[in-house]
Amino acid sequence: MSRRRHTPAGLLLANLALALAYLATARLGMGLALVADNVTPVWPPAAIALVALVLGRGRLVPGILAGALAAHLSTGLPVVTAVAMSLGNLGAGLLAAALLRRADFRPRLDRVRDVVALGMLAAVISTAVAATAGVGAMWAAHLVHTDGLWAASHTWWAGDMVAELVLAPLLFLLLVPGGVPPLRGREVVHMAAVFAAGTAAAAIAISGDLAYLVFPVLAWGAVRFRQFGAAASGLLVAIVAVLLTANGIGDFADDWLQQDVTRSQMFMGVAAVSALLLAAMKDELLTSQTHALTDALTGLANRRGWELELAHQEEAGRRGRRSFSIVLLDLDGFKAYNDAHGHQAGDRLLREVAGAWADRLRATDVLARFGGDEFGVVLAGCDLGAAEGLSAQLRAATPDGCGVSTGCAWWDGQESVHAVVARADRALYAAKADRGRLAVPAAQARRESAALAAAA
C-alpha cells in the first residue's frame, strides 16, 4: 500500500479517473439488471471500489462516492434514493478495506489466508451492507415490493460478491509490484493456450450441463502462472458465463429468465475461489520448500539443499557425462572470534562472508552453509583446475581479518558423491593443519590428468 505523497492535482485526477471507471463499469452491470435497472447479477464497481480503498485508503473516497452517485442517478432514481444507495456502496467498500487490513491482507494473494479473507470478509460480509442499504432505499421509494425484498437483496449481495471474487483479484495483481509474472517467448504462447482452453471449456460448460470442465483449465492456469493465471482464468470464465447466459444460451439461461441467478453466481464465485486457493497453496508449498532448504542466517542453501544439489549433479553427470567439482571451506579461528566479539558479531561476519563469496560465483554454482563456520560450493561443469582457481578467488574475497581453509575435489564420473565429499574433506583438514593452505589430494590430481588425457 503506497505511502507516497500525492499532489492535490494528482489526487483530483485520480478521483476523477476512478469516478469515470466506476460509472462505466456500473453501466455495463446495469445492462444485466433484473430489478429496476439497479439490481444486477454482477456489479463490477464493487471490485473497483474495494481495490481503490485497500490500495489508496481514504484518498479515493470522493471518486467512489461521485461515481456511485452518477451511476444511480443515471437510471432516473430520486436523488434521496440514489444518495442512500451510493452511501451503501461506499460503506461496503470501507468496511471491506478495514476488515482486510485487520486481517493483515496481502493484495498479492500469495497465502491461503489472503484468499479466505477476500472471500469471507470482503465478498461475503461487507457486501451485505450495500445490499441492505440499496434494496432498503429502493423499497422506501416503492421500487421494490415487500414480497420481493429477499430476492432483490440476495441478487444484489451475490452480484457484489461475484465481482469482488472474479475482478478484484486481477486488479490487485495488476496494481501491486510483482503481481504480474514476467513473460517471455514460449511463456506468452503458453499463457495464450491457457486462456484459449479456458474460453473453450467455459463455452462448452455453460452451453451444456458440464460445468466441471472448467476446473482442470483453471487448475492449469493457477499451477502454471500462479495468482495471475488463476485470477485471469477465473475472470475469463465469468465473462463467458455472463455473455452466453445473457444471450439465452446454456444451462443458466432459464434461471435468468425467471430472475433466479443463484446457480450462475455460485458457479462463477466457486470457480474463481478454487483457482485462487490452488495458486495460493502452491505458493505456500514453494515457500515451505525454500525455507526447508535455506540457511536462515545467511540465506544460502543449507545442508539438505547441498545434498540435493550434489544428487542432482551426479544424476546429470551420469546421464550426460558432465563432470563437476566441489570446494569445502572452513573459517579459521571462528570460535576464537566468537568468544572475543560475541555471537552477534560472529553472525554478522558469517553473513558478510556469505555475501562476499556469493558475489564471486556463477549463477549455476551453489554455495551452501552446513552450520557453524563450514561452507561448500558445487561447481557444475568445472574441472579441478577451475575449482582451484575459484578457491583462490574466494580466499581473496574473504573479509579482512578472517582466514579460510579450502579443500577441492573433482568427480571423475565413477565414484559416489559421498566419496568426492570425503576426499574434499580430507583435503580441507590437510589445509587447516597448514593454516589456510589450499589442498588438493595428489591422487585426485593424477586421476583427473589421466581422465582428461583419455578424453582427448
Closest to 23 measured CA to CA, from 66, 78, 85: 66
Tell whether 344 and 288 lie within a shared domain.
no
* Single residue among 273, 292, 311 that ends a domain in this structure: 292
State pLDDT tens for residues 198-256: 788 777 777 766 767 788 888 888 888 889 999 998 888 888 877 777 777 766 666 55
The model's confidence at residue 34, banded by pLDDT at 50, 70 and 90, is low
Tell whether 129 and 185 lie within a shared domain.
yes
Tell whether 233 and 317 lie within a shared domain.
no
Tell whether 283 and 398 lie within a shared domain.
no
Tell whether 188 and 230 lie within a shared domain.
yes
**Any domain includes 63:** yes
**Any domain includes 1:** no
Tell whether 186 and 126 lie within a shared domain.
yes
Given a cut of 80, whether residue 448 has pLDDT beyond it is no
34: containing domain: 8-292
The H or E element containing residue 119 is: none
The model's confidence at residue 455, banded by pLDDT at 50, 70 and 90, is very low
Q: What is the pLDDT of residue 447?
A: 47
State pLDDT tens for residues 369-382: 987 889 999 998 88
Q: What is the pLDDT of residue 319?
A: 79
Tell whether 224 and 287 lie within a shared domain.
yes
203-207, 208-212, 304-308, 419-423 — which is least confidently predicted? Answer: 208-212
* Single residue among 271, 292, 313 that ends a domain in this structure: 292
Mean pLDDT of the chain: 83
**Any domain includes 2:** no
**Any domain includes 22:** yes
Interhelix angle for 262-292 vs 214-246, to 10°? Answer: 150
Q: What is the pLDDT of residue 37?
A: 63
Q: What is the pLDDT of residue 449?
A: 43
Closest to 398 measured CA to CA, from 341, 358, 340, 439: 358
Tell whether 350 and 386 lie within a shared domain.
yes
**Any domain includes 234:** yes
Given a cut of 60, whether residue 259 has pLDDT beyond it is no
**Any domain includes 111:** yes
Q: What is the pLDDT of residue 6?
A: 67
Q: What is the CATH number of the domain that holds 334?
A: 3.30.70.270
Tell whether 230 and 254 lie within a shared domain.
yes
Tell whether 47 and 190 lie within a shared domain.
yes
Given a cut of 90, whether residue 316 has pLDDT beyond it is no
**Any domain includes 298:** no
Given a cut of 60, whether residue 440 has pLDDT beyond it is no
Q: What is the pLDDT of residue 8?
A: 82
Q: How many domains does the chain have?
A: 2
Tell whether 417 and 366 lie within a shared domain.
yes
* Single residue among 292, 327, 358 that ends a domain in this structure: 292
State pLDDT tens for residues 53-90: 999 878 899 999 999 999 989 888 889 999 998 999 99
The model's confidence at residue 454, banded by pLDDT at 50, 70 and 90, is very low
Q: What is the pLDDT of residue 92?
A: 92
**Any domain includes 350:** yes
Q: What is the pLDDT of residue 65?
A: 94
State pLDDT tens for residues 83-141: 998 999 999 999 999 999 999 999 999 999 999 999 999 999 999 888 888 888 888 88
Tell whether 90 and 157 lie within a shared domain.
yes
Q: What is the pLDDT of residue 257?
A: 47
